Amino acid sequence: MLKLTGISKGFAGVQALSGINFDVRAGEIHALVGENGAGKSTTIKIIAGALQPDAGEIAFDGKVVSWSGPADAKAAGIHVIYQEFVLFPHLTVAENIFLGHERRGRFGLIDHDRTRRDAADLLQRLGVAIDPDKIVSELTVADQQMVEISKALVHKVKLLILDEPTAVISGREADLLFARLAALKAEGVAIVYVSHRLEEIFQIADRVTVFKDGAHVATTDIGDVNRERLISLMVGRDLKDIFPPKRGTGGGKVTLKAENVSVAGRVRNASLELRAGEITALAGMVGAGRTEFAMAIFGGLPASSGTVWIDGEQVGMLSPAQSIRRGMGFVTEDRKGQGLAMLLDVAANVTAADLDAVTRRGVIDRRRENQIAREEIEKYRIACRGPSTPVATMSGGNQQKVIVARWARTSRKVLVLDEPTRGVDVGAKTEIYRIMRQLADDGIALLMISSELPEVVGMADRVVVMREGVVSGELAGAAINEAAIMRLATQHPSAAGSHP
């Protein structure tokens, strides 16, 4: 269906692509993987007509083509679904699906009845029950994604490209997406699937292509490669284990104890202990109440009951400001919406939780702020031009390291990390894991919330598992494995054992 031969592209002296070869067959899911900066996004833009290659040839559906713009590629049957959806939130589902291709009746007026009927037909083809008259802003993220795919079906899509489609969904919603992609594949649609989540690649892809530093590294059938080999191809070095050695359990004192914490409708009488020098994982299925439990401990959500002790002192339920003053930090799962100030630079973001350190007589001392930022950039190996680099221009992995650097400066006792490696590449994950282990070795108690079981098993000294708002059990040391976690995550709450 698609064949790229010798594609090259440069920007202001930087070579983004060097002689890329890539092909996709009709009726297959072809995964495209690589670290940030590998050339995936540039390749997608060239396929979609948003960029013109400096050299090379594009063949689509048996013909050599040269797109003058995205409209040409879309008219030919190429549709891209980006991580940030291109939807109008205040329009209906049907209006979004046919925007620019409105169903019209007599006198050129929009035929709203036909628009709704045709939208319903497309949604039914995808096997989803979404009301065509519903306002898009009222939909879940997963349903918005289905609306995006429905837009592609309007154009009789031949090639569908998905860029990090599960960055904003997981669990059952991701499984439903995979089922829809399988149905499209069965209809002969060629699918390019870009994701950092390697377990998804092995679950749904037929073939996988690896890019590194703008060059093609390898293309192979998914059955001919394992996870370790794929990681090695992506990072360019042998990586038997991306996780740093564990320190073990039993040595650290209890830094934080939370007992019988409840959040109305979300969490019921949940308890845990965090020990200095340990990484404790909070595991469970999506919707288990993990984030709500951690937010209640930190003070970000109101708790209907519960008590917290810090270093043996009963402190009750704190506010976020009180938690920060007592040496706690919280890295949220939504780095762009809740974590970073996207319009500010690295220096401002690094010091945001500790303005007293850079304020003199009520005015921010930029020289001091930049000095601190330079120290953190070096300490955490943040790839940027310097303290004045806008965070919006940085990769996801480096943005995440900026947030971790911010909270590590103030988190003297406890640091909560909610999905700390979501949406970052394997190389950046390895760096974040190293940082987390170093913080633990420095005596901080870490609480990691993660939906990736390999990450939980690889990083956690102890695992507290939740199901439907209840702590269903705890694992430590050699007892930590994916099967044991899943048993606790899926057992009925009434079967949950007591938690100390």
- CATH code (residue 158): 3.40.50.300
Q: pLDDT class for 500, splitting at 50, 70, 90? A: very low
Query: Are 372 and 350 a contacting pair, CB within 8 Å?
Result: yes
What are the backbone angles phi and psi of residue 461, rounded to the nearest 5°? -80, -35
| Same domain, yes or no: 491 and 355 | yes
Closest CA to 185 of 206, 171, 155: 206
pLDDT of 374 strictly over 80? yes
End-to-end CA distance of the chain: 58
Q: Which residue has the tokens 């692509």?
A: 17
pLDDT of residue 236: 67
Query: Are 435 and 219 a contacting pair, CB within 8 Å?
Result: no
pLDDT in tens, 411-428: 888 999 988 887 777 777
Share the mean pLDDT of the chain.
83
pLDDT of 282 strictly over 90? yes
| Distance from the Cα of residue 169 to its chain's centroid | 8
Tell me the CA distances in angstroms from 405 to 342, 349, 400, one per residue in order.
Answer: 16, 9, 9
Tell me the CA distances in angstroms from 332 to 57, 403, 438, 443, one per residue in order.
Answer: 43, 9, 20, 21
Would you say residue 245 lies in a domain? no
Whole-structure pTM value: 0.60
Q: Pairing between strand 279-284 and 462-467?
A: parallel
Would you say residue 244 lies in a domain? no
Would you say residue 433 lies in a domain? yes
| Same domain, yes or no: 383 and 430 | yes
| Alpha-carbon span 78 to 100, nearest angstrom | 16
| Alpha-carbon span 43 to 29, nearest angstrom | 17
Q: Tell me which of 236-240, 242-246, 481-485 is least confident.
A: 236-240
pLDDT in tens, 9-27: 888 767 888 899 999 999 9
* Domain, as residue range, for 385: 254-495
Helices (H), 236-332: 290-298, 320-325
| Same domain, yes or no: 461 and 315 | yes
Would you say residue 206 lies in a domain? yes
Encode burial over 145-171: b for 16+ CB neighbours within 10 A, e otherwise.
bbbbbbbbbbeebbbbbbbbbbbbbbe
| Same domain, yes or no: 425 and 291 | yes
pLDDT of residue 29: 94
Q: pLDDT class for 496, splitting at 50, 70, 90? A: very low
pLDDT of 497 strictly over 50? no
Q: How many domains does the chain have?
A: 2
Closest CA to 62 of 123, 114, 1: 1
pLDDT of residue 309: 92
Question: Which residue did the predictor score with more confidence, 46 or 107?
Answer: 46
Q: pLDDT class for 271, splitting at 50, 70, 90? A: very high
The arithmetic mean of pLDDT across residues 445-474, rounded, is 89
Would you say residue 247 lies in a domain? no
| Same domain, yes or no: 179 and 281 | no
Question: Which residue did the predictor score with more confidence, 22 or 145?
Answer: 22
Q: Which of 235, 262, 291 is the last residue of a domain?
A: 235
pLDDT in tens, 193-224: 988 778 889 999 999 999 888 889 999 999 99
Give the bridge partners for 463, in sequence order.
Answer: 281, 475
pLDDT of residue 192: 94
